[in-house]
A = this chain, B = another copy of it.
Amino acid sequence: MNKTSSPKVTARGPVDHEVRDQIVAAATEHFSRYGYEKTTVSDLAKAIGFSKAYIYKFFESKQAIGEMICSNCLRQIEAEIRAAVDEVERPPEKLRRMFKALVESGLRLFFQDRKLYEIAASAATERWPAARAYEGRIRELIQDILQQGRQTGDFERKTPLDEATMAILLVMRPYLNPLLLQHGLDYTDEAPLLLSSLILRSLSP
């Protein structure tokens, strides 16, 4: 990772990076146990054994730590989705896998790591950069699959690529966004199949 991408860190060599990781790891555990909203930077400092001032050298606020955790969490979900997509060859099957994987990883986050889910929900409410960037990367993944499918002749080419991509992102969004997912738990069994079939019908050449 390029150092210049984290402007809030003073340049002090690789050790800084380790300290940041250490803070994030401790905060992840602390937030998971006590919740993001209830924990203060003082609580974290106490739990890690650092001074509050020392933590502020690395992160300008609790939100900055929360964003980093959220970003890690979304990157992991994204990695799972990409792995599911890469397992199959044909673009239609890639889209089905993508929908299934994103619902499954969202549900796992929701049911197994409820406190992390709360952080992701804060990120989605407050539109943290990490959440926006995630939505952007999912959009790119959709667009890549569409382009592949247009090349293989599996998908129609009449609709502008941007329009088709955005419409599919909107169909997936209620399952991507943790705030929305919690209101659709009744449908998470059938939604991936029903909606990816609808999407594929819309893409038939």
Chain A positions within 8 Å of B, measured between CB atoms, are: 124-125, 156, 159, 163-164, 166-168, 170-171, 173-174, 177, 179-180, 183-184, 187, 190-191, 194-195, 197-199, 201-204
Contact = CB atoms under 8 A, between A and B. Distances in A.
A183 B181 CA distance: 11
Nearest to A124: B183
The complex is assembled from copies of this chain, and their number is 2
A138 to B, nearest CB: 14
19 contacts: A124-B183, A125-B183, A156-B201, A159-B197, A163-B194, A164-B198, A166-B190, A166-B194, A170-B191, A170-B194, A171-B198, A173-B174, A177-B183, A180-B180, A180-B184, A198-B202, A199-B202, A201-B201, A204-B204
B170 A179 contact: no
A198 B197 CA distance: 12
A111 B202 CA distance: 33
A180 B184 CA distance: 9
A204 B203 CA distance: 10
Nearest to A200: B202
